[in-house]
Amino acid sequence: MENENSFGAECLQILKGAVLSALFCLILSLVFALVLRFTELSDSVIKPINQFIKAFSVLLGCLAAVRGSKGWMKGLFVGLLSIMLTCLVFSLIGGGAALRWLIFVELLFGALVGALGGIVAVNVKRDR
């Protein structure tokens, strides 16, 4: 069996975490869109809730996939890849991608949340 800290295993953890995080984000965003459709929520709550959804999704992706050592680094990459994937998917759904300066803030946010999520993930005791 491959060592939990080998390069291939680490890359697989990062990829798995990013894909799971992007899926969580898409699902939660769809649920939020349904809530918006049937309620009269103010426009001022949309951006904070979207940021919460992204952060929560990155945290879930880290908790689901990151194991072993170097949790902060694996989590950082999970966050970066997750934000890139969700931006790509949402731009494909929305019909176009505009590279704005805000994407760099999103990437920084994803990296920070991912690093923290990775630290938490490797320190959580799991039942085997």
Classify burial at 96, counting beta carbons within 10 Å of its beta carbon; exposed 0-12, middle 13-18, buried 19 or more. exposed
Residue with tokens 């490797």: 122
Sign of CA dihedral 65, 107, 72, 10: positive
The helix (H) or strand (E) run that includes residue 87 is helix 71-94
Please state the pTM of the whole predicted model.
0.87
Supply 61's token pair: 């992706």
Cα 40 to Cα 58: distance, rounded to the nearest angstrom:
28
Cα 6 to Cα 3: distance, rounded to the nearest angstrom:
5
For the chain, what is the mean pLDDT?
89
- Where is pLDDT greater, at 40 or 1? 40
Residue-level pLDDT at 93: 83
56-90: pLDDT as tens digits: 999 999 999 999 888 999 999 999 999 999 988 88
2-12: pLDDT as tens digits: 455 688 889 99
Three-class SS state of 86 = helix
